[in-house]
Structure 1
Amino acid sequence: MKTIKLLKDIKFFTPTTELKELTILQHIENNEDTTQKELAEIVNAAPSMINVYINDYEEKGYIIREYISSKIVKYKITSDGIRRKNFLLITYLHELMKLYKLAKENIEKFLGNLEKNGYKNILLYGAGEVAETILSVIRDKETLGINIVGLIDDDLSLQNKILMEYKIISLKEVEKYSHDAIVITSYTYEDSIRKRLEEVGYDSTKVIRFFQG
């Protein structure tokens, strides 16, 4: 599907009416042949509600319906619909930037404490969203004295791949990388990663948990 991520996959907040509107307008702009069933799946709503949304957007002049047959309908976004979509997109982006700023401040504080404690060369264990966000903060904050030397992940499908210019390695390869500590960046698998490090005899004093607080 040529659209933003399915709203049902968003975990952090409940999608607002405005976000659903943005998603529907964006999807219609890119997919005139879409169906109400497909739109319902995208915004995680009942098909009956999609019909309500579509009627509302059509009444406001954001979209028009083109009836190809009695069963086939094409939805087309209007110039007013594009203006509305762009407004919603900027508003949504502004809200995300405020959340990112909050997260960035906390990550910078965490990294600053690492540096104060004498850690410089770091391996991140868990090549997911947390690691990617940390790498983004480090890239944007040139004054931080933290050097990420690589990423560790137990997922075989990720190993040997690159995430933001950093290679993802297996735990067995850790000895090849000169580093001061390993930072566990997985919330879900934090305990299992810590136990795995204990099992291979890794120095526990060099294990730092990002979510420890």
Structure 2
Amino acid sequence: MNAQASTDPQVVVSTAPACIYLLVSDDPEHRGKPFPKNPDGDEVTWCPEPVLECNVAYLRADVATQEAQALRRLLQSRDSVIVDVAKQRDTWAAAARSIKFQERVAPWMEACFGREISGDTEERNHRFLEEALELVQACGCTQIEAHQLVDYVYGRPSGDKAQEVGGVMVTLAALCLAQAIDMHLAGDVELARIWGKVHAIRAKQAAKPKHSPLPDPSGTEDSHVR
């Protein structure tokens, strides 16, 4: 007997990609030009990944709502005005900009991992290093160059944590300028995307090996599990 399809009208929504991209062109100069007024079917298309140089990111409404709800709770805890997202989108956007990105990440970390893992400094070191390596790999840095820099850095005395964070922020901004990437938009898009993956990330975190810097020794795990 064939299994019957779900009658829940929201199943297709909840199983769709949290973020999808409108692919405009492979010319990076098109980022600074208006969107085509009358694009034909061959000129633009959709994809779950930003595979071209010029893409427009769209977030699933329910995923954006989850972050909006977390933001509303954060605003409430700071005795700020709670914004009705549906009716005052521009006001919400302004409120979101007034909250530091670091503070917006905090409720997502709490929802995914709880306080213990969120505050595990060793785990946070490993996951940050993993993401930093993935970024420079995507930008063309070779494995040999990465190993040379590891040897260079660890051959010098440790620096001041706060100063090194400042250096990370400045050099990340400089890298994004060179790569023509809006670092703030990229952060917003990624935070919204992973709000839609809380349950999957929890499951993968539970399956991680203990006492290892690697997220998955087999190399099969989604790299975007923090």
Question: TM-score interval w.r.t. the shorter chain?
Answer: under 0.3
- Normalising by structure 2, what TM-score? 0.22
What TM-score comes out, normalization by structure 1 length?
Answer: 0.23
